[in-house]
């Protein structure tokens, strides 16, 4: 007897499930890099913020908790940098779901290390992983700018760009451009245990500026960028001098002149204020000089009665990245 062969019945493929939760880490950064006010920044190995974002059915953004070295931050998403960034993302994409956010702060408040930016970027990178079609990193930039404006009152991307792309980044209002530097070049950054609010540091910049100051600062920025592209430390050493912003903010940082001199005494290509301060950084063409400088810079802050933390990192620092959990090491 011939038994007819039956076509196998294939089960319909199950639709792929979207992940419901994602975690991300965003590194600290050096904002401005002295000569690139609001435009130039680079990321650091070491400190950073972490974010856990959970997809929820409610069409809202909710902040569940803020933990870590800073906890007294607004939980109203409209007053929180990371919350505002997620609200901006939801609105722009017309999402039919919401996000619940938990932040773990690893960057001190008012440190000049990009703490508000790191929260924005970590939250956005985590939320982006929950989308059906995740966006390119550059497409997150505008949402991060919306969040950063909550903290500082200004849409500036020097910290944000370096966290999103890693390394040294030129950040205009519309564009991010990664600038490669030699792998041997390192940064020493020292953060004294004192708070300097970004808004206060920006207020110190009010007033009149001479045209010659702008010309000199533009020339210095051009020399630094050309030196980075060429891998020419001599060009960077000639240009890494902030004549526009540093003189107006230096009085806000205890013992700044001696801390900067300690950085320069160890063969720095240049040294200045990180972001709005009070952290101070120096650039070096090798790691050993950066390590020695960090010790001397801490000693100079100690003369003013201030404890401090120090980091030594390649200038080509890391970009924000997904991590396994909120407790995972970066």
The mean pLDDT value for 209-223 works out to 96
Which residue would you say has higher pLDDT here, 60 or 12?
60
- Structure confidence at residue 258 (pLDDT): 98
What tokens does 113 get? Answer: 């290390």
The mean pLDDT value for 15-39 works out to 91
The mean pLDDT value for 122-136 works out to 97
Which residue would you say has higher pLDDT here, 203 or 34?
34
Look at residue 45 and give its three-state secondary structure: strand
Q: Which of 168, 125, 161 is nearest to 141 (CA)?
A: 161
The mean pLDDT value for 123-152 works out to 95
- Structure confidence at residue 322 (pLDDT): 97
What tokens does 218 get? Answer: 């533009």
Residue 14 binned pLDDT confidence (cut-offs 50, 70, 90): low
Residue carrying structure tokens 């564009």: 175
- Structure confidence at residue 72 (pLDDT): 87
Residue 261: pLDDT over 70: yes
Q: Residue 253 in contact with residue 278, Cβ under 8 Å?
A: yes
The kind and range of the H/E element at 186 are strand 186-192
CA distance 195 to 204: 15
Cis amide leading into 318 (omega within 30): no
- Structure confidence at residue 17 (pLDDT): 67
Beta-bridge partners for 108: none
Residue 259: pLDDT over 80: yes
Residue carrying structure tokens 């790691």: 287
Alpha helices in the chain (DSSP H): 81-93, 115-128, 141-152, 158-165, 198-203, 211-230, 233-239, 246-249, 256-264, 287-303
Q: Using one digit for the tens of pLDDT, what is the confidence trace for 168-182?
A: 999 999 999 999 999
CA distance 119 to 114: 9
- Structure confidence at residue 215 (pLDDT): 97
């Amino acid at each position: 007897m011939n038994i007819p062969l039956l076509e196998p019945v294939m089960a319909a493929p199950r639709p792929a499930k979207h992940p419901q939760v994602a975690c991300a880490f965003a590194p600290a950064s050096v904002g401005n890099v002295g000569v690139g006010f609001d435009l130039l920044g680079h990321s650091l190995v070491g400190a950073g913020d972490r974010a856990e974002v959970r997809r929820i059915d409610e069409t809202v953004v909710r902040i569940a908790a803020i933990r870590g070295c800073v906890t007294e931050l607004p939980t109203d998403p409209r007053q929180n940098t990371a919350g505002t960034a997620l609200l901006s993302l939801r609105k722009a994409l017309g999402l039919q779901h919401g996000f619940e956010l938990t932040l773990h702060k690893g960057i001190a408040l008012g440190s000049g290390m990009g703490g508000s930016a790191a929260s924005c970027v970590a939250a956005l990178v985590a939320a982006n992983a929950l989308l059906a079609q995740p966006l390119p990193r550059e497409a997150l930039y505008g949402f991060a700018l919306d969040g950063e404006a909550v903290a500082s009152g200004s849409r500036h991307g020097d910290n944000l760009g370096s966290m999103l792309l890693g390394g040294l980044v030129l950040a205009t209002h519309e564009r991010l451009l990664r600038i490669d530097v030699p792998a041997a070049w390192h940064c020493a950054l020292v953060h004294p245990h004192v708070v300097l609010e970004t808004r206060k540091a920006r207020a110190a910049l009010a007033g009149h500026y001479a045209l010659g100051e702008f010309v000199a600062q533009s020339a210095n920025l051009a020399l630094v960028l050309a030196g980075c592209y060429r891998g020419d430390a001599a060009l960077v050493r000639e240009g890494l001098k902030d004549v526009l912003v540093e003189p107006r903010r230096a009085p806000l940082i205890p013992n700044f002149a001696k801390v900067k001199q300690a950085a320069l005494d160890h063969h720095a290509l240049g040294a200045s204020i990180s972001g709005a301060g009070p952290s101070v950084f120096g650039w070096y063409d090798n790691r050993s000089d950066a390590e020695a400088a960090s010790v001397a810079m801490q000693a100079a802050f100690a003369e003013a009665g201030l404890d401090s933390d120090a980091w030594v990192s390649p200038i080509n620092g890391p970009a924000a990245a997904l991590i396994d959990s909120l407790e995972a090491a970066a």
